[in-house]
Structure 1
Amino acid sequence: MPLYKPPNPAAPVLSQFSLKGKIAVVTGGARGIGVEIVRGLAEAGADVALLYTSSKDAHETAARIAQETGVRVKAFQCDVASRENTATVINQIAKEFGDGRLDVVVANAGVCANIPSLEYTEETWRHNNSVNLDGVMWTAQAAGKIFKQQGKGNLIITSSVSATLVNIPQTQAAYNASKAAAVHLGKSLAVEWADFARVNCISPGFIMTEMITIQPPERMEKWLSMVPGRRIADASELKGLTQLLGLT
């Protein structure tokens, strides 16, 4: 690997951003940021495996994106908090969906709960971390083994601006801490896997997803008051960044 170079650097610039023929996996791909990442990778030409935990319309979403983009998009159920299940599903995707290959994996699945720090229990603390940190690790580990065997691959971790600052007024210490840990995990893997894979993190700010829209109106107003542009980004605005990082 490790640094991407287009097959023909003299080719027209837009063609160099194509992911045609690539096999991609997106965890948490049925809603929010994840579904827009799936859509962006598919629009760039990649065949995409959409991983979901409990979404009732994941298969319909995958079929709709496939119809709109003309590439293969298929939904697979996966509990990223389980190392065994994650490895089984990703290996299945590489073998059956990717014909033995895996090019881009986006560890995007995440959860958030607003809990005062003095009220966490072992279970509520573990729930955030099992998805936001453990889930990234198990996704990375399963993908990394395939990348190493292939000699190349690309892991993208969806973290959050909460990895570096404390959002207010909500109380979400577990979410913030797990996202910070995910960033440092990504840095660690980038160094360790330098010979065979690229690892990058993206840390979005407030994005207009269900995680945001279910919040009380006064909380939304508080957030907007701290944003100079007075608007919250749409999830689709992340498509280009993820597609760029997905070049392998």
Structure 2
Amino acid sequence: MSMRVEDTVIVRDGFPRPFPNIPSNALDQFQMTGKVVVVTGAADGIGLAVAEAMAGANATVAFWYNSNDAAVAKAEEIGKTYNVKTAAYKVDVSNASSVQSTIAAVVKDLGRIDVFVANAGMAISRPILEQTLAEFDKQMSVNVNGVVYCAKYAGEVFKRQGSGVLIITSSMSAHIVNVPVDQPIYNGSKAFVTHFGKSLAREWREFARVNIVSPGFFDTKMGASPLALNEAYRMAVLGRQGHVNEIKALYLYLASDASTFMTGSDILIDGGYCLP
């Protein structure tokens, strides 16, 4: 079907919107001075690396953790290293009231929330026929419910402020068919948050940006298990797992003014594991 140019002109009130006022120097765009960033699962692994990246860019950082109290000392150490304000909050993201009250505490303590990184996750590696329903509920409560709760209450702050950035940590398992066969619940939970994030990007288009990061195997406690290590090496084009230093700048990019024209994107960073 052919169309004339005049047939494609649709008038939208208030459009086009103005360009954001961001620095012309690309390196300056990555600076987070004056921004408050919350990172869940910040005690170790990718979450800790992301929190450090934000601090290195001069952000105020709230480290959210649950079972690993080492996050308190790490937050203090990183704050001193980069001469920025940091704070640690113990919160169970699978508990809605805990998430709601902790977000309120962060706003009270730090003034606002500019970026929320919903990174906390877990996996129980067991085929569905061997997995208990209690194990299913536990994974979904963190990987799905936890992201939904964080999005809901952080989103309320963003809407009130008129701005905000949500970054969701998903997984390469949401992209491929040849995923590890013993993680069906984990794989499904990550598929949920990937599409949930895309939906939020449209729902929140008036006041916030939402993007998703889908990591492959990284050398953390959530990386390839000993049984899956050789498979990770074989399938990844680069022949190894990733180091957390190779992903944290991606989160900084998505959090910063460098990515103001990006929303609803799902960025795969997997060393080529998902290539056909």
The answer for the alignment partner of 1:124 in structure 2 is 135
Report if aligned partners of 1:48, 1:72 keep a CA contact under 8 Å in 2: yes
| Alpha-carbon spacing, 1:7–1:168, altered in 2? closer, same or farther (3 Å) | closer
* Alignment partner, residue 21 of structure 2: 7
Give the AA of the match of 2:86: V
**Which amino acid in 2 is paired with 1:43?**
G
Query: Do 1:6 and 1:16's aligned partners in 2 also have CA atoms closer than 8 Å?
Result: no
2-structure distance, mates of 1:19, 1:205 = 27
Q: Tell which deviates more after alignment, 204-213 or 46-55.
A: 204-213
Which residue matches 2:106? 93
User: Using the alignment, how far apart are the partners of 1:6 and 1:188 within structure 2?
Assistant: 23
Structure 2: distance between partners of 1:8 and 1:56: 38
| d(CA) in 2 for partners of 1:166, 1:32 | 25
Q: What is the CA-CA distance between 1:88 and the residue it aligns to?
A: 0.4
Cα distance per residue 1:18-71 (max 9 Å; x no partner): 101100000101111000000011111110000001103111111111111111
| Match of residue 65, structure 2, among 52, 62, 69 | 52
Between the aligned residues of both structures, percent identity stands at: 41
Q: TM-score, normalised by structure 2?
A: 0.83
Give RMSD over aligned pairs.
1.7
What is the aligned partner in structure 2 of residue 228 from structure 1?
237
| Structure 1 or 2: more helix by fraction | 1
1:17 equivalent among 15, 27, 30 = 30
Cα deviation, residue 142, structure 1 = 0.8
**Counterpart amino acid of 1:224?**
Y
| Kept after mapping to 2: 8 A contact 1:25/1:50 | yes
The 8 Å contact of residues 40 and 239 in structure 1, kept in 2 or not, is answered as: yes
Name the counterpart of 2:43: 30
Asked if 1:195 corresponds to 2:213, the answer is no
Q: Aligned ranges for residues 41-190 of structure 1 at < 5 Å?
A: 41-96=54-109, 98-99=110-111, 101-166=112-177, 168-190=179-201
CA separation of 1:132/1:167 partners in 2, compared to 1, >3 Å: closer, same or farther?
A: farther
CA distance in 2, matches of 1:87, 1:37: 22
For 2:154, give the aligned amino acid.
Answer: A
Query: Secondary structure of 1:162's match?
Result: helix
Asked whether the equivalents of residues 23 and 47 of structure 1 are also in contact (C-alpha less than 8 Å), the reply is: yes
Deviations 1:114-133 (A, max 9, x none): 11111222211111111011
Q: Where in structure 1 are there 5+ consecutive unaligned residues?
A: none
If asked which structure has higher relative contact order (CA below 8 Å, sep 6+), I would say 1
Return the offset for 1:4. Answer: 10
| Distance of 2:155 and 2:180 partners within structure 1 | 38
**Which amino acid in 2 is paired with 1:243?**
L
Deviation at 1:8, TM superposition (A): 4.6
- Distance change (3 Å), C-alpha of 1:170 and 1:70: farther
Q: Decide whether the 8 Å contact of 1:4 with 1:247 is kept in 2.
A: no
Asked if the contact 1:106/1:156 (under 8 Å) is kept, the reply is yes
Distance 1:184 1:245 in 2: 18
Range with greater deviation from structure 2 (166-175 or 154-163) = 166-175
Alignment-mate amino acid for residue 72 of structure 1: K
Please tell me the residue identity of whatever aligns with 1:39. E
The range that moved more, 70-79 or 103-112, is 70-79
Aligned residues: 241
CA distance in 2, matches of 1:210, 1:229: 20
- Work out whether residues 166 and 176 of structure 1, in 8 Å CA contact, stay in contact via their aligned partners in 2: no
**Alpha-carbon distance change, 69 to 31 in structure 1, aligned in 2, over 3 angstroms:** same
1:241 is matched with: 250
Unaligned runs of 5+ in 2: 1-16, 258-276
Q: Distance in 1 between matches of 2:100 and 2:42?
A: 17
